[in-house]
Structure 1
Amino acid sequence: MSAAARGAAAEPSPAVVQQAIAWLVRLQSGSASPAGWDECRRWREAAPEHALAWERLQGIQGRFASMPPMPSSLAQRTLDVARKDVGRRKAMLAVALGVGGTALLVRQPWSDSALLADLRTGVGEIRSLVLADGSVLLMDTSTAVDVHFDADERRLRLLQGRIVLTSGADSQAPRYRPLSVQTTHGLVRALGTRFQTHLHADRTQVQVLSDAVELRPQDAAEVQVLRRGEQAWFDHQGIHGLQASDCDADAWTDGVLVARNMPLSVFVAQLGRYRPGYLACDERVAQLRISGVFSLKDTERSLDLVQKTWPVALRRRTRYWVTLVPRD
């Protein structure tokens, strides 16, 4: 974008800023297809204010990336302050993008952007941490969570991805504080438990690994208790698909993907979440069934194993663009 064009472009509106942030999060998630990158390019070229918002956002990212490392003690204090005041970070980003801080916050009382989350994992990263109440949080690849603990409740807001939460005793609190996971579709309340929550675009999937949870859809009075070995999903309107849990549901916490007669297309979609770039399979081998245990920490090794064991080959345009095709 030229200097003249920048000068002529209108200041980005709050809606355009939100769109730019959403595009950045989508493209950095590791799951964007080549069509997605092209769609983003067309969005940037559609209007000067789109290009200006994108350019400013990229500039902010670059400045963050170039900052020198802080001493560990200072970094910890900075992180603690940031977690206590997420709104301040939102306002800073909004001002840097040329709009008022409150304009970014009108859609929801809490952040709907994984870019601004308290806790994030990168592509291929699986992270475990102990929260202040003693709860253990396991975060899957490309996952974002906000943490809100106060005198009355312990609430995690899952903004993107998948987590396993083991509830802590919260022994330092003067009184009982319920523990829950909130998504855009509703609330999952822990009943002394270990459970998995996976946020999809149109639903939230929950699997109980120990004890029980309550599911509370956002726009329905319905409440469903799920017990160990059960799973269900819910959206805004209600709870659906109650059934026995997939026994391999939490295999990712051990860094592996377990395939049991799994279509290659499904395998590729799941493995692709753990590696940067584009991973796909030709429709001619999409329904090929595979079984085995595959590493999520070394996806190249997993792809090599598939290539050696089944009648497929890896076609590489670049290191980050791989397609599984029929073997010649």
Structure 2
Amino acid sequence: MRSTTVTCCASRTSAEVAPSSKAVKQAIHWMLSLRESGNDPALSQQCERWRKAEQEHELAWQRVISLHQDLDLRAIPGAGVALQTLETSQRRLHRRQALKLLSGVALVGTASWLAKDLDSVGTWTSDFATVTGERRSVRLPDGSLLQLNTRSAVDLAFTEQQRMIRLKHGELMLTCSETPYQGRPLLVQTRDALLEGFEGRFVVRQDFDCTRVSVGQGKVALHLPGTGELQWIGSEQDWRVDAFGAQRLEQVDMDAAAWAEGLIVTRDMRLADFLAQVSRYRHGYLGCTEEVADLRLSGVYRLDDPYRLLQLLPQTLPVRLCKHTRWWIRLEPVA
């Protein structure tokens, strides 16, 4: 998993790990053309030459064809329309508009997966962002260290009144500056919570239904949503915050800060939950059958090569990897 460090004033230079939108559009065009032509041999040869011309072409082709085959798009109403919409709309619309249009088609899971693999929309409009499998470090103007995990995006608003970091999606780690800034609180805002850091280091992750906060060192003030009350979070504490309030988590099954070192550290974690975390660092589909979902695992795993990580699981669990492509993997019980 790549890691980069920049200062706040530096421009983004991180290389994309996903194929460009141009290559993906070309792959979609080839797939639609072959389907409409009834797999014409001459057209198939032309597509084959295009795929071999560039490594990026083959990667884009595998993404699109996996999306079409592995999720069985032809059995989902509106799926063909969705791909056609993406292919045609990107000719005349801005990329963000095309993805927004695609998400309106009746393809909840499929559309979100394609949008994810084309990079998050927030990457285009955020002050700092990461793509799949990337970590990034940013030294802020006050000396604080901001670290972003995979698929994360933030906006900064440093003014004379406050120092605000808005977490749009994903996960961050903030190591607060030791320099006192009287009258300018250091804030992290998510969909569910407003957090104020005073010292030390803490992690904030925005999930689809809540915000998770883990304080490694120091203390954080949680401004409770809807009440304005303060909840102090001390060192080695983990909290869950949603629209209904805040709850301290007495037990956690994963080290919240290990990703900063390129690791995932688990403690008696469900296999299904483990795979959900690993899927954040790779492209494509990753899941398991219900028969093995509740298997438990503990250990330290490196995130720099998620596929190799998955290959290790059958050595400790009674599972096997069912792999249609490198981007579609499901764990099943050993027969």
- Structure 2 CA distance, aligned partners of 1:326 and 1:123? 28
After TM superposition, list the pairs within 5 Å mapping 1:273-312 onto structure 2. 273-312=280-319
Give secondary structure in 2 for the equivalent of 1:307: helix
Q: CA contact under 8 A between 2:154 and 2:167: conserved in structure 1?
A: yes
After TM superposition, list the pairs within 5 Å mapping 1:1-328 onto structure 2. 42=78, 45=81, 51=85, 55-56=89-90, 60-61=94-95, 114-115=122-123, 116-169=125-178, 176-241=183-248, 243=250, 248-328=255-335
Moved over 3 A (4+): 34-46, 50-54, 56-61, 242-247
- Structure 2 CA distance, aligned partners of 1:229 and 1:36? 45
Shift of 1:193: 2.6
| Structure 1 residues 177 and 41: alpha-carbon distance in aligned structure 2, compared to 1, 3 A threshold | farther
Give secondary structure in 2 for the equivalent of 1:273: helix
Q: CA contact under 8 A between 1:135 and 1:168: conserved in structure 2?
A: yes
- Structure 2 CA distance, aligned partners of 1:118 and 1:40? 37
- Structure 1 CA distance, aligned partners of 2:88 and 2:226? 35
TM-score of the pair, normalised by structure 1: 0.66
TM-score of the pair, normalised by structure 2: 0.64
Shift of 1:150: 1.1
**RMSD of aligned Cα (Å):** 3.7
Letter in 2 for 1:326: P
Give secondary structure in 2 for the equivalent of 1:126: strand
Q: CA contact under 8 A between 2:253 and 2:267: conserved in structure 1?
A: no
After superposition, the C-alpha distances for 1:115-146 in whole angstroms (9 at most, x for unaligned) are 42111111111222211111111111111111
- Structure 1 CA distance, aligned partners of 2:286 and 2:92? 25
Shift of 1:294: 1.0
- Structure 2 CA distance, aligned partners of 1:311 and 1:301? 17
Letter in 1 for 2:171: R
Give secondary structure in 2 for the equivalent of 1:271: helix
| Structure 1 residues 57 and 291: alpha-carbon distance in aligned structure 2, compared to 1, 3 A threshold | farther
- Structure 2 CA distance, aligned partners of 1:51 and 1:302? 36
| Structure 1 residues 254 and 37: alpha-carbon distance in aligned structure 2, compared to 1, 3 A threshold | farther
Shift of 1:291: 2.1
- Structure 2 CA distance, aligned partners of 1:304 and 1:252? 20
| Structure 1 residues 292 and 244: alpha-carbon distance in aligned structure 2, compared to 1, 3 A threshold | closer
| Structure 1 residues 113 and 156: alpha-carbon distance in aligned structure 2, compared to 1, 3 A threshold | farther
Shift of 1:261: 2.2
- Structure 1 CA distance, aligned partners of 2:304 and 2:91? 30
| Structure 1 residues 271 and 36: alpha-carbon distance in aligned structure 2, compared to 1, 3 A threshold | farther
After superposition, the C-alpha distances for 1:258-300 in whole angstroms (9 at most, x for unaligned) are 1222221111111111111111112221122222211111112
Equivalenced residue count is 250
Shift of 1:41: 8.1
Shift of 1:195: 0.7
Shift of 1:215: 0.6
Letter in 2 for 1:143: S
Letter in 1 for 2:144: S
Gaps of 5+ in 1: 1-26, 28-33, 62-92, 98-111
